[in-house]
Amino acid sequence: NAGVMQNPRHLVRRRGQEARLRCSPMKGHSHVYWYRQLPEEGLKFMVYLQKENIIDESGMPKERFSAEFPKEGPSILRIQQVVRGDSAAYFCASSRTRDRGVQPQHFGDGTRLSIL
């Protein structure tokens, strides 16, 4: 069952360290989305990427956060110099096309990031 795969499932970092979160989309999907979720809240959009391109990063903090989706390999969400406020669950979703109603976004099970 080749769903959206995220790793690690849990990540603990100390303040000031870097966090790297990985996402392998479903087979045949070339559109990747990253979302962030705080406890008891809905998911908040961060960034949308296609292979080698960032399409929309309107939800990304302007500093310390970056994302990439290389030609080969998983999509990476990178958080530099982490702070306690970065603690959250980060979810990745993928879709085959942009044709809404034909290919809804499918989500992975997330990475729970904890900052000590």
Partner 1 sequence: GESVGLHLPTLSVQEGDNSIINCAYSNSASDYFIWYKQESGKGPQFIIDIRSNMDKRQGQRVTVLLNKTVKHLSLQIAATQPGDSAVYFCAETPAGVDTADKLIFGTGTRLQVFP
| 100: Cβ contacts below 8 Å, ≥ 6 apart | none
Q: Which of 22, 66, 107, 114 binds partner 1 (CB under 8 A)?
A: 107
Q: How far apart are CA 104 and CA 115, in angstroms?
A: 32
Is residue 95 within a helix (H) or strand (E), and if so which, with residue range? strand 88-95
| 99: Cβ contacts below 8 Å, ≥ 6 apart | none
DSSP 8-state class, residue 86: G
The verdict on 100 binding partner 1 (CB under 8 A) reads: yes
The verdict on 110 binding partner 1 (CB under 8 A) reads: yes
Q: What residue type is 6 in one-letter code?
A: Q
Q: Which of 19, 95, 113, 115 binds partner 1 (CB under 8 A)?
A: 95
Q: How far apart are CA 69 and CA 93, in angstroms?
A: 13
Q: Which of 28, 71, 84, 104 binds partner 1 (CB under 8 A)?
A: 104
The verdict on 27 binding partner 1 (CB under 8 A) reads: no
Footprint of partner 1 on 34-63 (CB under 8 A): 35, 38-45, 48, 55-56, 58-59
Q: Which residues bind partner 1 (CB under 8 A)?
A: 4, 6, 31, 33, 35, 38-45, 48, 55-56, 58-59, 91, 93, 95, 98, 100-101, 104-110
